[in-house]
């Protein structure tokens, strides 16, 4: 690494030095569109509603996000923030139109950092098509500061109706959880394979290996694209048949340090896929149960944001402050636990890991699975 290196991160556990923390400003509940509709459970109060989120919830989320940013800074970590735009505006491309955007929480969904590259994802939600704009000022700044920074954008998806299965789970095709699980087992999701589509949060970076969840937001074509884009990496497709809404790997399978991962006990990694971990002496431990029975109001995510933690180094981890069982388990696993109040930000798209994106971690590209 040269002295000018600003961007470098190969995994989610080496010592963190520089990170982006999201903002809740102007965030909206997006209007109906195929990929979003499939993510919102039929019995959710969010079904059918859209528009700007209540101001008091934006303020409460921002207060906690600002507090988290300050906490990280107090530990010597550089923190940057996105520049929100007015998300509550209709946007159109030659291929689609939507009446509002989403927000710039959480950055982890959009930005995939691999070594000295930050790649903006090819997201499948139409309302998130322009979300990368909130990070454009930072990317431009890193580009000027770091001569080796690779500022990259995955192929912009067209997101025409061809990108989604027609009426998937909609209206009279609404599915029970059991029916959804059958679809998940058959790997039949709302997104089709006509073009690469992925969210960065479906990718778990572990040095030379990228473990990518196949689900609602990431298709196989994207994995093929990733493999060609990162020719020196091994891209592994993983799936978690117990999850009726498989989206984003970081409340399902989370590495804590080299050799140790926690796995959601309701979404176990299949035996076949575990082999690579066992063969290389990695331990996979069932994550502790969430402390809450329900997610907060207007939240897309499950209670399993409990395990959505930010590892600061091999011995230190940030866990949401009300997640008492997860904190206790981390402590038993030998980690120093930093409790971070963030539950007011959950509704905006995720937890402690989701609300960040790596810019710089110490360390190099290791081969953990030779």
CA-closest candidate to residue 112, choices 251, 35, 241, 226: 226
Query: Which CB sits closer to ligand NVA, 8 or 306?
Result: 306
Which backbone phi and psi does 79 adopt, to 5 degrees? -120, 125
CB of 115 or CB of 215, closer to ligand NVA: 215
- Nearest CA to 152 among 96, 226, 60? 226
Residue 249 Cβ vs ligand NVA, minimum distance, rounded to whole Å: 8
Contact residues toward ligand NVA (CB under 6 A) are: 245, 247-248, 250-251, 301-302, 304, 308, 350, 354
Residue 199 annotated as catalytic: yes
Catalytic residue among 199, 250, 344, 358: 199
Nearer to ligand NVA, 180 or 248 (CB): 248
Minimum CB separation of residue 295 from ligand NVA in Å reads: 8
Kind and range of the H or E run holding 322? none
> Residue 41 CB, nearest distance to ligand NVA (Å)?
10
**Surface-to-core class of residue 3, CB atoms within 10 Å of its CB (0-12 exposed, 13-18 middle, 19+ buried):** exposed
d(C-alpha 294, C-alpha 39), whole Å = 16
Q: How far is the CB of 12 from ligand NVA (least distance, A)?
A: 13
C-alpha dihedral, 164 to 168 to 171 to 172, nearest 10° = 140
Point out the catalytic residue in the list 27, 299, 354, 355. 354
- The residue with tokens 């149960």 is 289
Closest to ligand NVA by CB, 122 vs 352, is 352
Quote the tokens at residue 246.
């498989």
Radius of gyration of the chain (CA): 19
Sequence-ordered list of residues with C-beta below 8 angstroms from that of 198, at least 6 positions apart, any chain: 121, 122, 123, 124, 154, 212, 217, 218, 219, 222, 223, 226
**Tokens 């590892």 sit at which residue?**
311
Determine the 3-state secondary structure of 104 from DSSP: strand
In whole angstroms, the minimum distance from the beta carbon of 280 to ligand NVA comes to 26
Among the listed residues 27, 248, 309, 353, the single catalytic one is 248
Nearer to ligand NVA, 142 or 300 (CB): 300
Specify the pairing of strand 310-313 against strand 316-320: antiparallel
Looking at the Cβ atoms of 247 and 317, the one nearer to ligand NVA is: 247
Beta strands 336-340 and 316-320, pairing class: parallel
Active site residue 248: yes
* Min CB(245)–ligand NVA separation in Å: 6
365 is catalytic: no
Whole-angstrom distance, CA of residue 139 vs CA of residue 9: 15
Residues acting as catalytic residues: 199, 248, 354
């Amino acid at each position: 690494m040269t002295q000018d290196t600003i961007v470098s991160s190969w995994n989610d556990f080496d010592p963190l030095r520089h990170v982006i923390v999201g903002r809740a400003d102007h965030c909206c509940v997006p209007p109906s569109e195929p990929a979003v509709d499939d993510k919102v459970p039929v019995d959710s109060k969010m079904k059918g509603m859209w528009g700007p989120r209540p101001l008091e919830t934006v303020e409460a989320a921002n207060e906690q996000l600002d507090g988290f940013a300050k906490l990280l800074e107090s530990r010597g970590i550089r923190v940057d923030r996105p520049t929100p735009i007015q998300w509550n505006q209709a946007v159109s491309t030659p291929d689609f139109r939507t009446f509002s955007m989403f927000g710039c929480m959480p950055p982890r969904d959009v930005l995939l950092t691999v070594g000295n590259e930050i790649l903006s994802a090819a997201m499948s939600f139409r309302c998130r098509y322009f979300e990368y704009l909130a990070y454009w000022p930072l990317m431009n700044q890193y580009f000027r500061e770091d001569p080796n920074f690779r500022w990259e954008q995955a192929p912009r998806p067209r997101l025409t109706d061809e990108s989604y299965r027609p009426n998937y789970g909609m209206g009279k095709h609404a599915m029970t959880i059991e029916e959804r699980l059958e679809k998940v087992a058959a790997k039949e999701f709302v997104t089709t394979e006509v073009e690469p589509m992925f969210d960065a949060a479906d990718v778990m970076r572990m040095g030379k290996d990228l473990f990518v969840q196949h689900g609602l937001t990431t298709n196989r074509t994207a994995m093929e694209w990733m493999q060609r884009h990162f020719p020196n990496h091994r891209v592994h497709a993983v799936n978690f048949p117990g999850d009726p809404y498989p989206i984003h790997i970081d409340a399902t399978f989370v590495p804590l340090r080299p050799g140790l991962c926690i796995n959601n006990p309701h979404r176990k990694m299949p035996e076949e896929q575990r082999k690579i971990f066992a063969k290389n002496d990695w331990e996979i431990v069932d994550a502790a149960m969430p402390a809450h029975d329900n997610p907060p109001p207007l939240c897309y995510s499950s209670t399993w944001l409990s395990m959505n933690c930010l590892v600061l180094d091999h011995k230190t981890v940030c866990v949401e402050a009300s997640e008492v069982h997860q904190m206790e388990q981390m402590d038993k696993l030998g980690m120093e636990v930093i409790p971070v109040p963030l539950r007011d930000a959950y509704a905006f798209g995720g937890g402690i890991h989701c609300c960040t994106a790596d810019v710089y971690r110490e360390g190099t590209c290791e081969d953990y699975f030779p």
